[in-house]
Amino acid sequence: MATIAILGTMDTKGEEHGFVADRIKQRGHQVLVIDVGALGAPRLNPDITRREVAAAADVDFDALAAKRDRGETVAAMSKGAPVVLSRLVAEKKIHGVISLGGGGGTAIGTAAMRALPIGFPKVMVSTLASGNTAQYVGVKDIVMFPSIVDVAGLNRISRQILTRAAGAICGMVEAGQASRLSKAGETPAVPSEDKPIIVASMFGNTTGCVEHARKILEQAGYEVLVFHATGTGGRTMESLIESGMAAGVLDVTTTEWADELVGGFLSAGPTRLEAAAKQGVPAIVAPGCLDMVNFHGPETVPAKFKGRTFYQHNPQVTLMRTTPEECAQLGKIIAEKLNLSKGPVTMLIPRKAISVISAPGKPFHDPAADQTLFDNLKSRLRRDIEVIEMDCEINDPRFAEACANALLKNIGKRK
């Protein structure tokens, strides 16, 4: 038997959350109701009150309720709900969470879910689930369940949707339990102890390097999770590192920093490269694809970049070569991020090419820009951070082997 948290505004959506609670109980599970409403009396008795949620956000609930300001209420509950839910998960008091809502309820529910670790069952039934949900999901595995009709009473449509949503969260919880438990004498469906995880960043231009390095790391007993360096991929990888799941980081493709600096569309934000450094996770870092900034079609390239060197990667992606001045800044930024490292980290530099198209004879070959990048990296790094320079291209098997071996060495130091 599992306990599933039901989080929502029980003043306006109490009947609907109560319906979901009944369906969950019918599956043999317990529920823990968390109220994040503030404008009226709850229609479903909570186990954790709105006052407790507000207190978790250091908000005076009486003052909040007196204002009857919907925006302030959503903001306060969006701050307190993640604290409450995270505590329940840490204390192993809940095994999944479901929430129902419109705009405000979705904002509160998903804010709470984004605070939870990847792999913890999360279902959000929302009126907003059919559009762009990036701001609600972030980099977490939140299942957005379209409500079809508004979450406003029970009818022949909403009953079907809510019944299936309740079944979804129960199924997710039950599947997680089944993967951990097996009857005496039976072999579990999945190994009881998974291999330690290494996360890696990859782009089409660094595929050869990452694939070769991955084989070496897998042979050494690790599971390698590869993230595409497309902004979302980098943010997701950083989130996974922050969660404590990664034993090592193969950060070969740091290209997202070029987009962050210059203004491309694949930026992973200003905290990219900080998670491993601050968590002390063993890592290797390479300047993979810092020669390119990503735009959509040619017509999307800002006019200020007229005259620059471009390469049409495909009809939807236009690449722009970084200049020596931009490379100098990128070297400084990457070095500053690595200097935050609390654990063993190594910088590896492939001197002949940092991407497929920066090799000699290729469109982005610019030795002066690359040298500026390398010089700024090396001159600004802490003296105790090892730098390995190799006279080869980034996808050379020798470079991939050096990356894998350096990472294994750093993991050994951490152990």
| pLDDT for res 183 | 43
Dihedral angle sign, alpha carbons of residues 99, 245, 251, 227? negative
Classify 319 as helix, strand or coil. Answer: strand
Backbone torsions φ then ψ of 202, nearest 5 degrees: -145, 150
Q: Which residues contact 32 (CB under 8 A, 6 or more apart)?
A: 3, 4, 5, 6, 47, 48, 88, 93, 94
Residue 287 counted as domain residue? yes
Residue 324 belongs to some domain of the structure: yes
Same domain flag for 127 and 58: yes
CATH number at residue 335: 3.40.50.12030
* Cα separations in angstroms, 136 against 106, 124, 293: 8, 10, 27
Same domain, 280 and 373: yes
What are the tokens at 357? 């198209």
> Per-residue pLDDT for the chain (415 aa), expressed as one digit of tens each?
899 999 999 999 999 999 999 999 999 999 999 999 988 899 999 999 999 999 999 999 999 988 888 899 999 999 999 999 999 999 999 999 999 999 999 999 999 999 998 889 999 999 999 878 989 998 899 999 999 999 988 999 999 999 999 999 999 999 987 665 544 444 444 444 579 999 999 999 999 999 999 999 999 999 999 999 999 899 999 999 998 889 999 999 999 999 999 999 999 999 999 999 999 999 999 999 999 999 999 999 999 999 999 999 888 899 999 999 999 999 999 999 999 999 999 999 999 999 999 999 999 999 999 999 999 999 999 999 999 999 999 999 999 999 999 999 999 998 7
Regarding whether 129 and 20 lie in a shared domain, the answer is yes
pLDDT score, position 178: 67
Whether 201 and 237 have beta carbons less than 8 Å apart is answered as yes
Tell me the CA distances in angstroms from 64 to 8, 52, 70, 84, 105, one per residue in order.
Answer: 17, 13, 10, 18, 17
Give the Å distances, CA to CA, from 26 to 230, 357, 360. 43, 59, 66
Q: Are residues 61 and 12 in the same domain?
A: yes
Range of the domain at 310: 197-414
In terms of domains, do 307 and 376 share one? Answer: yes
Distance in angstroms (rounded) separating the CA atoms of residues 17 and 159:
11
Distance CA 312, CA 290 (A): 17
Closest CA to 143 of 86, 99, 83: 99
Segment (H or E) for 285: strand 283-285
Please tell me the distance from the alpha carbon of residue 111 to that of residue 401, in angstroms, as a whole number. 41
Same domain, 113 and 28: yes
Does residue 192 lie in a domain region? no
User: Are 133 and 267 contained in the same domain?
Assistant: no
CATH number for the domain harbouring residue 48: 3.40.50.12020
> Last residue of some domain: 180, 210, 244?
180
Inside any domain, residue 188 = no
Domain assignment present for 401: yes
* Radius of gyration for the chain, computed over Cα atoms and rounded to the nearest angstrom: 25
Question: Token digits for 262?
Answer: 């210059």
Reported as half-sphere exposure (CB side, CA atoms, 13 A), residue 249 has a value of: 35
> What is the pLDDT at residue 248?
98
User: How many alpha carbons lie under 13 Å from residue 373 in its C-beta half-sphere?
Assistant: 33
- Examine the fold and report which residue of 180, 206, 241 is the final residue of a domain before the chain moves on: 180
Neighbours of 370 (CB within 10 A): 24
Let me know if residue 186 belongs to a domain: no
Q: Same structural domain for residues 114 and 204?
A: no
Q: Residue with structure tokens 């009486």?
A: 62
Q: In this predicted structure, what is the pLDDT of residue 331?
A: 98
Output the six-digit token pair for 233.
């991929």
Could you give the number of structural domains in the chain?
A: 2
Count how many Cα atoms sit within 13 Å of the Cα of residue 361 in the half-sphere of its side chain. Answer: 1
How many Cα neighbours within 13 Å face the side chain of 55? 6
Asked if 198 contacts 249 with a C-beta cutoff of 8 angstroms, the reply is yes
Dig out the tokens for 170 from the structure.
């129960």
Q: Same domain for 171 and 223?
A: no
CA atoms within 13 A on the CB side of 405: 7
| Residue 314 forms part of a structural domain | yes
The two structure tokens encoding residue 34: 């968390």
Per-residue CA distances from 43 to 10, 33, 38, 65, 102 (Å): 6, 12, 12, 17, 17
What pLDDT does residue 190 have? 44
CB 353 within 8 A of CB 373: no
Whether residues 290 and 378 fall in one domain: yes
Identify whether residues 175 and 28 lie together within a single domain.
yes
Alpha-carbon distance 197 to 218, whole Å?
A: 10
Instruction: Write the CA distances from 322 to 112, 295, 314, 330, 357, integer angstroms.
Output: 39, 13, 19, 10, 12
